[in-house]
């Protein structure tokens, strides 16, 4: 039975829930929700989500996973590739508990919103009870599922490439002075989600922007993007995190379902190099900057 969850329309036109989603029983410690999202494809969201999930699993944490890109399902396919690799090599690699959502088949928009909200809330409740962390890969588009995920997030990680094409996702930039202008629709949506979470749960969302797929070469454009992000972070309240450098290894690992933390497993055909050591350090640096609950003081075992 579809419930009326109640929604409000924000100033930006985004409809947000008016009650917390994914409730758990009293006394149950709910999982920390991490949303990896922006509204642009090609920034490496699925790579970040997968490596973060496996890193937390390697640290002994239980992890849930939801891929909200219902069309491309890059994160979901990454997980499926991992399952096939384990079956083929008869190995047991750490894998997150996955919740798979489907789009509503209703034609009435209100019924679609009610049905998808209920599906999302039920999946969230199950994973919240079973897991320490839930990692949600949001689509590179504005969808109801994406809005719901952002409104429930405890941490939002927004990977951006080192270009003003991706910077435009966050705010306008003056083409002559390179001064930061008004925030983008995505930034405004996240601002609305942060206000809504503060009202409903008396907590805010920790927004972290990571510069991803960074070129090894120094360039004027790279420095300008960095300066712009620092300026914007002070204006709209996000933290900057080091990202992953552009490496061929990430594209090679996807069809195998493996991560940088699996390269020394038996059956891996990828030769472990010093470049991979540096890439692992980037992952460690990200975990340190995120300051996730329950990890303070713990040794990172990779």
- 85-117 pLDDT tens trace: 999 989 899 999 999 999 999 988 889 899 999
Instruction: Look at residue 263 and tell me whether its pLDDT is greater than 90.
Output: no
Average pLDDT of the segment spanning 56-76 = 96
Per residue in 198-216, pLDDT (tens digit) is 988 888 999 999 988 776 6
Of the given ranges (3-12, 50-59, 206-215, 284-293), which has the lowest mean pLDDT?
A: 3-12
Per residue in 112-140, pLDDT (tens digit) is 899 999 999 999 999 999 999 999 999 98
Q: What is the pTM of this model?
A: 0.90
Distance CA 191, CA 204 (A): 10
**pLDDT for res 235:** 86
The strand pairing partners of 278, in sequence order, are: none
Proportion of the chain above pLDDT 90, given as a percent: 53
The CATH code for residues 26-290 is 3.40.50.300
C-beta of residue 50 within 8 angstroms of C-beta of residue 259: yes
**pLDDT for res 222:** 73
**pLDDT for res 4:** 38
Distance CA 227, CA 179 (A): 10
Highest mean pLDDT among 36-40, 76-80, 182-186, 195-199: 76-80
Burial grade of 182 (CB within 10 A; 0-12, 13-18, 19 or more): exposed
C-beta of residue 31 within 8 angstroms of C-beta of residue 131: yes
pLDDT grade, residue 21 (50/70/90)? Answer: confident
Distance CA 166, CA 299 (A): 34
The strand pairing partners of 156, in sequence order, are: 35, 207
C-beta of residue 163 within 8 angstroms of C-beta of residue 221: yes
């Amino acid at each position: 039975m579809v419930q009326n969850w109640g929604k409000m329309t924000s100033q930006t036109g985004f409809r947000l829930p008016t009650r917390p989603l994914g409730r758990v029983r009293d006394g149950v410690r709910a999982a920390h929700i991490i949303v990896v999202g922006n509204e642009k494809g090609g920034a490496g969201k699925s790579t970040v989500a997968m490596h973060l999930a496996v890193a937390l699993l390697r640290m002994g944490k239980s992890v849930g996973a939801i891929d909200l890109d219902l069309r491309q399902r890059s994160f979901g396919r990454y997980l499926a590739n991992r399952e096939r690799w384990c079956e083929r090599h008869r190995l047991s690699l750490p894998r997150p508990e996955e919740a798979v959502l489907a789009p509503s088949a209703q034609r009435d928009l209100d019924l679609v919103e009610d049905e998808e909200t209920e599906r999302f809330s039920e999946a969230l409740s199950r994973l919240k009870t079973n897991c320490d962390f839930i990692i949600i890969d949001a689509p590179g588009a504005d969808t109801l599922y994406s809005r719901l995920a952002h409104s429930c997030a405890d941490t939002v990680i927004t990977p951006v490439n080192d270009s003003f094409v991706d910077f435009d996702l966050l705010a306008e930039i003056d083409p002559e002075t390179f001064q930061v202008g008004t925030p983008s629709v995505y930034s405004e949506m996240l601002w609305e989600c942060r206000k809504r979470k503060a009202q409903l749960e008396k907590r805010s969302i920790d927004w972290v922007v990571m510069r991803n797929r960074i070129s090894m070469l120094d360039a004027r454009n790279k420095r300008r993007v960095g300066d712009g992000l620092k300026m914007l972070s002070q204006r709209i309240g996000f933290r900057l995190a080091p990202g992953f450098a552009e490496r061929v290894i990430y594209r090679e690992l996807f069809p195998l379902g493996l991560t940088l933390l699996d390269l020394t497993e038996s059956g891996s055909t990828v030769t472990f190099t010093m470049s991979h050591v540096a890439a692992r350090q980037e992952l460690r640096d990200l975990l340190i900057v995120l300051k996730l609950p329950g990890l303070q003081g713990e040794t990172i075992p990779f």
